[in-house]
């Protein structure tokens, strides 16, 4: 069958791919985008949006529990209703998915629901959901396939019907207790949420600290938040064996010789790219040992005219990183036509937030990374209780830490742990992008009383270490 020809063929409708497809379709190019299941991609369907929706519900529950403290009477016995919670989450997701489909169609692209397989260079065969097939070729092809929960080869895991971040979103009943394997982003966010809504949580983490990319003092503070809240942590312990008994109880054997058991197990041990079995190698698109699509700094793959983006291309696993991949691809496709300058993905400043209680927001270098890179470092460190806004909202937990270059006062990075840290980090990030030194942030006039106003305080002598 002769392939249908397109200027741009996007395979997998993740953040980068869908943004590019809409843009180029609107500009008059002939664009097709193939998506096998999730309209709008992972983030909207099974990741950021549903998890942050239910995390907010957990915060609402916690606020109602503390109602009397805020002067509100009559809210004595709040509890999470799992059916209402699920419906609320589905409502938020459903509304966004419907909005996405409208945008796709409105852009003028050919939006195709089906599974793509590469059958020739720059050419895919799509098994449509109605059973028919289409063959499509792009002058340029962008692969944006994403990742799925990794289920490592742990004895008994495959037979124990464990939960993943996907299945947790469809639970019809909450377990009384759960063992979470993995103390990374997903493990920490689910541990905090489930604990807030009344599940007894044990986290098993192979590394010696939660969130191994963070400074040890920051990770220790998160661990203390967790244990103070009633979460049990098993750090430096690997899950080696899983067994589900006839009564449904699951026990997990650890490398330490201990065993932990609960009603259920959530596996949060990283994500693997969905790049196998779709013919990528046959058309010259090389994969790395981890199955990621090999790309250069411009996000070009090893096959001519084929580009890749997002998690599966090895970009940091965040939706905003994939969105930046879209910008890079847009610039590089234009540059390939002789319009404008190419862009590189190297050296990007990519912040992130762990949406636990309180939030941990990060940007730039950790203290350890800065020291390892040879910087003479100065630390600013302040308790969140020093920020007036934290008082007015009754959220005093946490600490802000910023890493400065001693000689220049340049801001190298920060770890803000506290209420609304996810918002305040963007302010600091803008200062870093604008190359402002810490005194400019200290002396800026910032609205009172806001959380970001804490940046005025953080850099005063009271909180600057020698």
Ligand X SMILES: NC(=O)c1ccc[n+]([C@@H]2O[C@H](COP(=O)([O-])OP(=O)(O)OC[C@H]3O[C@@H](n4cnc5c(N)ncnc54)[C@H](O)[C@@H]3O)[C@@H](O)[C@H]2O)c1
d(CA 231, CA 223): 9
Shortest distance, position 92 Cβ to ligand X, whole Å: 17
Residues 6 or more apart whose Cβ sits within 8 Å of residue 278:
116, 117, 118, 145
Backbone angles phi, psi at 365, to 5 degrees: -80, 145
Shortest distance, position 259 Cβ to ligand X, whole Å: 13
Residue 181 binding ligand X, by CB under 6 A = yes
Residue 221 binding ligand X, by CB under 6 A = no
Closer residue to ligand FAD (CB): 274 or 331: 274
Q: Are 235 and 209 in contact (CB under 8 A)?
A: yes
d(CA 179, CA 203): 6
Q: Quick one: which segment of 74-82, 114-122, 124-132, 183-191 binds ligand X (CB under 6 A)? A: 183-191
The distance between the two most distant Cα atoms of the chain, rounded to a whole number of Å, is 73
| Dihedral sign of CA atoms 356, 314, 123, 118 in order | negative
144 binds, among ligand X, ligand FAD, none (CB under 5 to 8 A by kind): ligand FAD
Question: For this structure, is 320 an active site residue?
Answer: no
d(CA 309, CA 297): 11
Position among 187, 310, 358, 398 found at the interface with ligand FAD (CB under 6 A): 310
Residue 204 binding ligand X, by CB under 6 A = yes
Residue 196 binding ligand X, by CB under 6 A = no
268 binds, among ligand FAD, ligand X, none (CB under 5 to 8 A by kind): ligand X
Position among 9, 13, 110, 397 found at the interface with ligand FAD (CB under 6 A): 13
Q: Quick one: which segment of 82-90, 175-183, 378-386, 449-457 binds ligand X (CB under 6 A)? A: 175-183
Catalytic residue of the set 77, 88, 276, 448:
448
Question: Can you say how many angstroms the Cα of residue 85 is from the centroid of all Cα atoms in its chain?
Answer: 21
Residue 274 binding ligand FAD, by CB under 6 A = yes
Shortest distance, position 255 Cβ to ligand FAD, whole Å: 25
Residue 183 binding ligand X, by CB under 6 A = yes
Q: How many CB atoms lie within 10 A of CB 28?
A: 9
Residue 184 binding ligand X, by CB under 6 A = yes
Q: Quick one: which segment of 57-65, 92-100, 206-214, 338-346 binds ligand X (CB under 6 A)? A: 206-214
Query: In which residue are the tokens 């312990």 written?
Result: 237
Residue 189 binding ligand X, by CB under 6 A = yes
Residue 214 binding ligand X, by CB under 6 A = no
207 binds, among ligand X, ligand FAD, none (CB under 5 to 8 A by kind): ligand X
Residue 146 binding ligand FAD, by CB under 6 A = yes
Residues 6 or more apart whose Cβ sits within 8 Å of residue 232:
200, 201, 202, 203, 260
Closer residue to ligand FAD (CB): 191 or 436: 191
Residue 322 binding ligand FAD, by CB under 6 A = yes
Shortest distance, position 167 Cβ to ligand FAD, whole Å: 11
Catalytic residues: 448
Contacting positions for ligand X (CB under 6 A): 154, 181-187, 189, 204-207, 212, 238-239, 268-271, 317-318, 352-355
Contacting positions for ligand FAD (CB under 6 A): 11-16, 34-38, 41-43, 47-48, 51-52, 115-116, 144-146, 165, 186, 274, 278, 310-312, 317-320, 322
């Amino acid at each position: 069958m002769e392939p249908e020809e397109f200027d741009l063929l996007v395979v997998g409708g993740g953040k980068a791919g869908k943004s590019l497809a809409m843009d180029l379709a609107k500009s008059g190019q002939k664009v097709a985008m193939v998506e096998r299941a999730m309209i709008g991609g992972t983030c909207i369907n099974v990741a950021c949006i549903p998890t942050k929706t239910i995390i907010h519900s957990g915060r609402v529950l916690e606020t109602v529990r503390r109602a009397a403290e805020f002067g509100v009477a009559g809210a004595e016995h709040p509890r999470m209703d799992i059916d209402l919670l699920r419906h609320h989450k589905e409502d938020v997701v459903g509304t966004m998915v419907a909005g996405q489909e409208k945008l796709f169609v409105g852009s003028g692209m050919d939006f195709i629901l089906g599974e793509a397989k590469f059958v020739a260079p720059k050419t895919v065969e799509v098994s449509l959901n109605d059973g028919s097939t289409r063959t499509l070729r792009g002058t340029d092809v962008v692969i944006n396939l994403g990742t799925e929960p990794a289920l490592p080869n742990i004895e008994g895991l495959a037979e124990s019907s464990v939960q993943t971040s996907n299945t947790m979103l469809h639970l019809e009943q909450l377990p009384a207790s759960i063992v979470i394997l993995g103390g990374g982003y997903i493990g920490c966010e689910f541990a905090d949420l489930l604990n807030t809504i009344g599940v007894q949580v044990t986290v098993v983490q192979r590394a010696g600290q939660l969130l191994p990319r963070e400074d040890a003092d920051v990770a220790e503070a998160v661990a203390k938040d967790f244990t103070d809240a009633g979460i049990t942590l098993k750090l430096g312990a690997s899950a080696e064996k899983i067994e589900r008994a006839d009564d449904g109880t699951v026990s997990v054997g650890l490398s330490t010789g201990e065993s932990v058991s609960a009603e259920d197990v959530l596996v949060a041990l990283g994500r693997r790219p969905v790049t196998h079995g779709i013919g990528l190698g046959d058309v010259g698109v090389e994969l790395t040992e981890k199955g990621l699509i090999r790309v250069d700094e411009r996000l070009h793959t090893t096959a001519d005219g084929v580009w890749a983006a997002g998690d599966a291309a090895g970009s940091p696993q965040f939706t905003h990183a994939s969105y930046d991949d879209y910008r890079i691809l847009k610039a590089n496709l234009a540059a390939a036509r002789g319009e404008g300058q190419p862009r590189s993905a190297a050296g990007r400043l990519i912040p992130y937030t762990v949406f636990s209680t309180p939030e941990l927001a990060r940007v730039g270098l950790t203290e350890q990374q800065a020291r390892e890179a040879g910087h003479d470092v100065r630390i600013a460190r302040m308790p969140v209780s020093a920020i007036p806004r934290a008082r007015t909202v009754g959220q005093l937990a946490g600490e802000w830490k910023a890493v400065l270059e001693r000689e220049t006062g340049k801001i190298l990075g920060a770890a803000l742990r506290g209420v609304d840290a996810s918002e305040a980090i963007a302010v600091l990030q803008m200062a870093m992008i604008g190359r402002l030194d810490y005194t400019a942030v200290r002396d800026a006039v910032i609205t009172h009383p806001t959380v970001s106003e804490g940046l005025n305080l953080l850099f005063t002598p009271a909180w600057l270490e020698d």
